[in-house]
Structure 1
Amino acid sequence: MDKFSRNERYLIINADDLGMCHSSNEAIFKLFEDGFISSSTLMTPCPWVKEVAKYYRSHPDIDIGVHLTFTSEWKYYKWGPVTKNKIVDSLITEEGYFPERSEDVELRANREDVREEIKNQIDLAVKLGISPSHLDNHMGSLYGLTFGNSFLDIIFEFCQRYNFPFRLPKILDEEMKQGLPEAAISNYEKMIDIADQNGIKLIDHLISYSFSLEDGEDYTSFKERVISILRNLKPGINELYIHPGLNTEELKAINPHWEKRYMEFKLYQDEKLWKVLQEEGIKLIRWKDLRG
Structure 2
Amino acid sequence: MLAEKLGYTAEDKLLIVNADDFGMCQSANAAIEKLLLEGAISSATVMVPCPWAKQAAAFSQANPQLDIGIHLTFTSEWEGYKWGAVSRQHPVPSLLVGGLYFPEDCKTFEVQADPEDVRKEVYAQIEQGIALGITPTHIDVHMGSLYGLATGRDFLEIVIEACARYRLPLRLPRRIEEDVYPSEIVQMAKARIQLADELGVFMIDDLVSLPYAYLEGDTYMNVRLQMADILRNLRPGVSEMIIHPAYVTDELQGIMPHAQKRGMEAKLFRDEKIKQVLAQEHIHRITWRDLMIAQRQS
**Which TM bucket (shorter chain)?**
over 0.9
Contact 2:214 2:259 in 1 (8 A): no
CA RMSD of aligned residues (A): 1.2
User: Could you tell me the percent identity over the aligned residues?
Assistant: 46
Query: Structure 1 residue 241 and structure 2 residue 245: aligned?
Result: no
Query: Structure 1 residue 65 and structure 2 residue 65: aligned?
Result: no
Query: Structure 1 residue 230 and structure 2 residue 231: aligned?
Result: yes
Contact 2:206 2:239 in 1 (8 A): yes
Contact 1:10 1:235 in 2 (8 A): yes
Q: Across the two proteins, how many residue pairs are aligned to each other?
A: 289
Cα distance, 1:8–1:52 mapped onto 2, change above 3 Å:
same
Q: In the TM superposition, what whole-angstrom CA distance separates every residue of 1:109-150 from its partner, at most 9, and x where no partner exists?
A: 111100000001000111011100011100011101121111
Please list, as runs of the form range in 1=range in 2, the aligned pairs for 1:14-93 lying within 5 A after superposition: 14-93=18-97
Instruction: Give SS of 1:12's match.
Output: strand
Contact 1:20 1:47 in 2 (8 A): yes
Instruction: Give SS of 1:64's match.
Output: strand
Aligned-partner Cα distance in 2 for 1:258–1:248: 8
Contact 1:145 1:181 in 2 (8 A): no
Contact 2:86 2:121 in 1 (8 A): yes
Equivalent position amino acid for 1:183 in 2: E
Match of 2:283 in 1: 282
Contact 2:61 2:135 in 1 (8 A): no
Instruction: Give SS of 2:16's match.
Output: strand
Structure 1 residue ranges (4+ consecutive) displaced by more than 6 angstroms after TM superposition = none
Gap runs ≥5 in structure 2: none
Instruction: Give SS of 2:187's match.
Output: helix
Q: TM-score, normalised by structure 2?
A: 0.94
Q: In the TM superposition, what whole-angstrom CA distance separates every residue of 1:95-117 from its partner, at most 9, and x where no partner exists?
A: 51000010111101111100000
Gap runs ≥5 in structure 1: none
Q: In the TM superposition, what whole-angstrom CA distance separates every residue of 1:227-249 from its partner, at most 9, and x where no partner exists?
A: 11111111000000000010100
Please list, as runs of the form range in 1=range in 2, the aligned pairs for 1:1-292 lying within 5 A after superposition: 1=2, 2-3=5-6, 4-173=8-177, 177-178=179-180, 180-291=181-292, 292=294
Q: TM-score, normalised by structure 1?
A: 0.96
Equivalent position amino acid for 2:12 in 1: E
Equivalent position amino acid for 1:21 in 2: C
Instruction: Give SS of 1:133's match.
Output: coil
Equivalent position amino acid for 2:291 in 1: L
Equivalent position amino acid for 1:57 in 2: Q
Contact 1:230 1:276 in 2 (8 A): yes
Instruction: Give SS of 1:239's match.
Output: strand
